[in-house]
Amino acid sequence: MDGYNAFNTRRRSRFAALASAIVLATGIGACDWGGETRDALQPSGPGAEPDPELGASSGDIDIGARSSEAGTAERNEAAARADDAESESLDSALGPEPAEDAPQETQIAAARSTGAVSAAAALEPVGDGQAHGDASFIQTDEGLEIVVTMAGLEPGRHGIHVHENGDCSGPAAEAAGDHFNPAGSAHGAPSDEPSARHAGDLGNLSADASGDAELNLTDEVLTVEGENGVTGRAIIVHGGEDDFSSQPSGESGDPVACGVIEVSARG
């Protein structure tokens, strides 16, 4: 008797498991069929009302989703149009940006429109020396702000000048020519009157024991462009000190570093 009861218990368990599997499969199929299954189960005919437990049809849900997606797309498009309008307004206010290969005069004019014109040079060693550095020239209301930083110099004072040609070729940078001197004046110091100095006379810079040196000067004679413009010329650091009196160059010795000055704009 006990064996028979155990057999019936196992059979009922198998039937229960099979029924659960059938119910689970039916539920999965209903999910896959979506709206079609719900529509089929909804009552039809005159006066029939939908069963609230079955929910809305898939068609209603799809319409709502499509409406939401359309509204989002319209908002995104409106935001994009607003961004484009703001960008065009900003571009109009700033004006066109000059091309990199534009003539120098065009670049200078564009720089002036931003309220700042500047030039720069990279100084490279001349001959077998190690002297090198950078120079910047910035137009201000007070004059031309000149900043030169050097390394690899012999300790001591070194003459520094703007030369007439923007060419550093030759064993001693001979292609740079003489000091820049548009007024035909005698050689002198940067503190002298314009009639008593070359426009390119910048005086001396002093190198420390490590060979580093810096010059900060605001010059009232030189400009970035124009008759006294430095653009397209060379800046040279010499091996010796400028005595400000010996003609025509202050006996400052051979060049040890040279760089061509080129215009650049910053705003």
Given a contact cutoff of 8 angstroms between Cβ atoms, the answer to whether 221 and 179 are in contact is no
| Candidate from 36-50, 109-123, 148-162 with smallest mean pLDDT | 36-50
Which pLDDT does position 106 carry in this prediction? 47
Angle at 124 between CA 240 and CA 108, to 5 degrees: 110
Residues 106-129 have pLDDT tens digits of 444 444 444 457 999 999 999 888
Which pLDDT does position 9 carry in this prediction? 53
Is residue 158 pLDDT above 90, yes or no? Answer: yes
CATH 2.60.40.200 fits 104-265, yes or no: yes
Which pLDDT does position 68 carry in this prediction? 54
Exposed e or buried b for every residue in 1-34, given b needs 16+ CB within 10 A? eeeeeeeeeeeeeeeeeeeeeeeeeeeeeeeeee
Residues 80-89 have pLDDT tens digits of 665 565 555 5
Which pLDDT does position 144 carry in this prediction? 95
Which pLDDT does position 111 carry in this prediction? 44
Is residue 54 pLDDT above 50, yes or no? Answer: no
Residue with tokens 């709502």: 64
Structure tokens at 64: 């709502």
- More confident: 50 or 265: 265
- More confident: 66 or 196: 196
Residues 5-20 have pLDDT tens digits of 544 455 555 555 555 5
Which pLDDT does position 214 carry in this prediction? 96
Q: What is the pTM of this model?
A: 0.57
**Long-range own/partner contacts, residues 182-186 (CB < 8 A, 24 or more apart):** 182/227, 182/228, 186/247, 186/248
> Cβ–Cβ contacts within 10 Å for residue 261, how many?
23
Given a contact cutoff of 8 angstroms between Cβ atoms, the answer to whether 85 and 96 are in contact is no
Mean pLDDT of the chain: 75
